[in-house]
Amino acid sequence: MFDDQRLIFGLSEPMERGHQERLAPMAAEVMASATLAFADLSKIAVTVGPGSFTGLRVGLAFAKGLHLATGAPLAGIGTLAALAASVGKRGQIAGAIDARRGLVYVQAFMDGRPSGAPDVVAAVDTACWLASAAPGAWRVAGPGAHLLPSANNIEAVEITTPSLAALGSLAASAPAAADVAPIYLRAPDAKPMAS
């Protein structure tokens, strides 16, 4: 919960499962701790991915429901942008998330601005991918940073979730959108059963 970019109260719990059970109680805890009602919200910001398919769907569904219930505008924030902003806005920084099967979701930023769209890249090729975005040293932040091969031009910063301060800053400048949609860069691992 932010007042402009000042954090009033926040919670963050990295989890592999249980998003749908935990999200609404967490939101209620934040609002109660900030001594605010949901009707007091002036903007709702949600990360839109890339990331876990279930986590994205649960987060977006909850944010859209809250938007419909309160009338507060809804804005989307890229998960890779939030991870990169968590370690700074100066220089060449990339966000990276484990996309499974030897792949990473990655996006490059120069002084806080995206230098291209998010991509899904083989982890072993990420150093080359970054070098093609711009030569020189890179800081790579996120739960996929450890998958990158060690290279002299890469400093891996292993963080599991974006910092609340970074999210607040990005939320303050994120424009409201009529339809906030998830960013999916690859097909899900789950496949329909054959009949």
130 and 166 housed in the same domain:
no
Note whether residue 182 is domain-resident. Answer: no
Confidence of residue 6 (pLDDT cuts 50, 70, 90): confident
Shared domain for 58 and 95, answered yes or no, is: no
What are the pLDDT digits (tens) for 113-153? 999 999 999 999 999 999 999 999 999 999 999 999 888 88
CA angle 154, 157, 158 (to 5 degrees): 130
Q: Are residues 137 and 167 in the same domain?
A: no
Domain check: are 103 and 8 in the same one? no
Rounded Cα distance, 166 and 159, in Å? 13
CB 50 within 8 A of CB 183: yes
Cβ atoms within 10 Å, residue 103: 21
The one-letter amino acid code at 177 reads A
Which domain does 116 fall in, by range? 80-157
Q: Is the pLDDT of residue 190 over 70?
A: no
pTM greater than the 0.85 cutoff: yes
148 and 133 inside one domain: yes
Same domain, 167 and 72: yes
Q: What is the pLDDT of residue 189?
A: 66
Assess if residue 187 is contained within a domain.
Answer: no
Q: Is residue 178 part of a domain?
A: no
Whether 75 and 86 share a structural domain: no
User: Is position 185 within any domain?
Assistant: no
Per-residue model confidence (pLDDT) at position 8 = 84
Does residue 11 lie in a domain region? yes
How far is it, in rounded angstroms, from Cα 153 to Cα 10?
34
159: exposed, middle or buried (Cβ count in 10 Å: 0-12, 13-18, 19+) = middle
> Same structural domain for residues 9 and 50?
yes
Considering the domain boundaries, does residue 13 fall inside one?
A: yes
Count how many domains the chain has: 2
Same domain? For 6 and 37 the reply is yes
Summary mean pLDDT of the chain? 91
6 plus 72 within the same structural domain: yes
Q: Give the CATH number of the domain where residue 70 resides.
A: 3.30.420.40
**Same domain for 71 and 11:** yes
Report if residue 67 sits inside a domain: yes
Q: Residue 194 falls within a domain, yes or no?
A: no
Same-domain check for residues 109 and 135: yes
Query: What's the pLDDT score for residue 82?
Result: 97
CATH number of the CATH domain containing 121: 3.30.420
